[in-house]
Amino acid sequence: MHDAAPFLSDNAAPVHPAVWEAMCAADSADSPYDGDRLSAQLDERFSDLFGRECAGLWTATGTSANCLALATMCPPHGGVICHEEAHIEVDEGGAPGFYLHGAKLMLAKGEHAKLSPESIAALIDPIRDDVHQVQPHAIALTQASEYGCTYNESELASLRAFADERGLGIHMDGARFANAAAFLGGDARAAARHAARGVDSLAFGFIKNGAMSAEAIVLFDPEQAALVRYRRKRAGHLQCKGRYLAAQILAMLEDDLWLANAAHANAAAREVAGGCGERLLHPVEANELFVALSPAERETLREQGFAFYDWGAHAARFVAAWDTRQEDATALGKAIAGL
In the window 153-192, what residues touch its own copies (CB under 8 A)?
A: none
- 83 sits near its own copies (criterion: CB under 8 A): no
Q: Give the per-residue SS3 of 92-111.
A: CCCHHHHHCCCCEEEEECCH
If the CB atoms of residues 13 and 286 are measured against its own copies, the closer one turns out to be 13
- 90 sits near its own copies (criterion: CB under 8 A): yes
Query: C-alpha angle with apex 82: 81 to 88, nearest 5 degrees?
Result: 120
- 131 sits near its own copies (criterion: CB under 8 A): yes
**DSSP structural state of residue 155:** H
Interface residue with its own copies among 94, 167, 277, 295 (CB under 8 A) is 94
Closest CA to 80 of 133, 140, 128, 121: 140
- Identify the burial level of 152 via C-beta atoms within 10 angstroms of its C-beta, where 0-12 means exposed, 13-18 middle and 19 or more buried: middle
If the CB atoms of residues 49 and 144 are measured against its own copies, the closer one turns out to be 144
Q: What is the DSSP string of 19-60?
A: HHHHHHHT-S---STT-STTGGGHHHHHHHHHTS--EEEEES
| Nearest-approach distance from CB 198 to its own copies, in angstroms | 26
| Nearest-approach distance from CB 320 to its own copies, in angstroms | 13
If the CB atoms of residues 184 and 248 are measured against its own copies, the closer one turns out to be 248
**Near its own copies in 63-82, by CB under 8 A:** 63-65, 67, 75-79
- H or E element that contains 249: helix 243-253
If the CB atoms of residues 110 and 242 are measured against its own copies, the closer one turns out to be 242
Interface residue with its own copies among 22, 69, 95, 250 (CB under 8 A) is 95
- 241 sits near its own copies (criterion: CB under 8 A): yes
Interface residue with its own copies among 25, 44, 233, 277 (CB under 8 A) is 233
**Near its own copies in 251-310, by CB under 8 A:** none
